[in-house]
Amino acid sequence: MVSLTKGEGFGRPLLEFSLTKKPIIVSNWSGHMDFLNSEFVCTIEGQLNNVHPSAAVKDLIMSESQWFSPDHGQIGHYLRDVHKNYKKYLDGAKRQAYKSKTEFSWDKMKEQLDTTLSTYIPVLPKKAELKLPELKLPTL
């Protein structure tokens, strides 16, 4: 899997693909680095550059925004090396799959949500009956 995202964030397809135990080549920037371990996948360095003025869209992509530009030399290096030495990258791919499966499964997410809610909201609000005073209608 090759994903040279400019800044799309989390990247659910990357998380799902990591379960296939196959090598991954990604930009070393954005939300997917929250779940991909740089020791297990090939990360491409680069730099942040301002978006091109033609890409700016009112209320969506501000002209002050920046996108990630990957190092093309590293892209070529990893594409060739992973193709040529595929087996060398399989151990990291398997380790990433294990990490993804154990740390980002549905059950793990429920466990983390339960822990967070229990910590910050120890007692959930209960329904309370609202009793308002009776008002007399004005006479005309």
H helix or E strand, kind and range, residue 129: none
pLDDT at position 46, please?
Answer: 97
Look at the domain 2-119 and name its fold.
Answer: Rossmann fold (3.40.50)
CA 117, 118, 121, 123: dihedral to nearest 10 degrees? Answer: 130
pTM: 0.78
Residues across the chain: 140
pLDDT at position 138, please?
Answer: 86
pLDDT by 10-residue block (mean), the chain, 140 residues? 88 93 96 96 97 90 92 98 98 98 93 93 86 86
pLDDT at position 123, please?
Answer: 84
Q: What letter would DSSP give residue 10?
A: S
pLDDT at position 112, please?
Answer: 93
